[in-house]
Amino acid sequence: MGICNARNYMAPLLPLVRAGKLRPARIITHTMALGEAPRGYAIFDRKEDRAIKVMLRP
């Protein structure tokens, strides 16, 4: 969640992730079911519980 033009960053970053030089999972602080999306957005918006990134599982 967040405002970012991710498509601009995909091409230069994806090779670094594949090579193991970047580990994006390090910034995921919360993982929730898709049905908990409203709660996840609230946690992220308020930066509760030291939230950096909230990942939603389908």
Condensed to tens digits (0 to 9), the pLDDT of residues 1-58 reads 457 788 888 899 999 999 999 998 888 999 999 999 999 999 999 999 999 999 999 9
| Tokens describing residue 19 | 């090579």
Which pLDDT score, from 0 to 100, does residue 2 have? Answer: 59
pTM assigned to the model: 0.64
What is the distance, to the nearest Å, from the Cα of residue 34 to the centroid of all Cα atoms in its chain? 14
Cα end-to-end span (Å), the chain: 15
Print burial letters for 11-39: b (CB count within 10 Å at least 16), e (below 16).
eeeeeeeeeeeeeeeeeeebeeeeebeee
Which pLDDT score, from 0 to 100, does residue 40 have? Answer: 94
Which pLDDT score, from 0 to 100, does residue 54 have? Answer: 93
Which pLDDT score, from 0 to 100, does residue 6 have? Answer: 80
